[in-house]
Amino acid sequence: MLTGLAFYLFAAVVLVSAIAVITARNPVHSVLFLILTFFNAAGLFILLGAEFIAMILVIVYVGAVAVLFLFVVMMLDISFSDLRKGAMQYVPMGLIIGGILLAELIAVFSAWKFAPNAADNIAVPFVQSAEGITNTEAIGRVLYTDYVFAFQVSGLILLVAMIGAIVLTHRTRPGVRKQKVADQQARKKSDVLEIKKVTSGTGV
């Protein structure tokens, strides 16, 4: 009963705020609605018993991605109304493609069946109830063992993404006065101080 109530609450808020994301006129509001959507989607995952994904959703998407969006939206001077101009002409095409995809999905899921041996094929059987470990722990057990290959290659992908971001955006600007700590440390008294004997009455 309570679970059902929670489900409908989360689901309704997800839907409403998701619509608000794309309809809000103010981009900052859009991002805030996006954060609300993520939070409620995380709630849905908790109801499913997938607390790990729920936490990841909050930490990664709300904590990092959405906040980054917020920064971009607030700090860059982008005219969103200019961006939206002309977007309407793509709506019919988008509706057609979306409609086709939707029809396919309906066809798939109305006739959906699992392979008879699907349950045996699952590489990592669901262990929560049997051994009383959480699914975070279950993921941790396989992530660095059975799936170490995918894990390491994902690391390489992130490295390439980082190299790419630096290559495409970092530029060395000449004429910028930077603090060079090493130079400051290496400065000796003799480099900058000159002691002159001043004989009295003559001046420097």
Q: Which residues bind other proteins (CB under 8 A)?
A: 104, 107-109, 111-123, 125, 141-142, 145-150, 153-154, 156-157, 159-161, 163-164, 166-168
Name the residue nearer to other proteins (CB basis): 23 or 98.
Answer: 98
Q: Least distance from C-beta 155 to other proteins, angstroms?
A: 10
DSSP 60-129: IIIIIIIHHHHHHHHHS---HHHHHTTGGGGHHHHHHHHHHHHHHHHHHHHT----TTHHHH-SS---HH
Name the residue nearer to other proteins (CB basis): 59 or 103.
Answer: 103
Among 135, 116, 114, smallest CA distance to 125 is for 135
Can you tell me the distance from the alpha carbon of 150 to that of 36, in angstroms, rounded to the nearest whole number? 31
Name the residue nearer to other proteins (CB basis): 12 or 106.
Answer: 106
CB atoms within 10 A of CB 54: 19
**The two three-digit tokens of residue 180, written as one number:** 């060079």
Q: Least distance from C-beta 160 to other proteins, angstroms?
A: 5
Q: Least distance from C-beta 176 to other proteins, angstroms?
A: 16
Can you tell me the distance from the alpha carbon of 144 to that of 105, in angstroms, rounded to the nearest whole number? 34
Q: Least distance from C-beta 188 to other proteins, angstroms?
A: 26
Q: Least distance from C-beta 168 to other proteins, angstroms?
A: 5
Classify residue 150 as exposed, middle or buried by CB count within 10 Å of its CB (0-12, 13-18, 19+): exposed
Name the residue nearer to other proteins (CB basis): 87 or 204.
Answer: 87
Name the residue nearer to other proteins (CB basis): 5 or 123.
Answer: 123
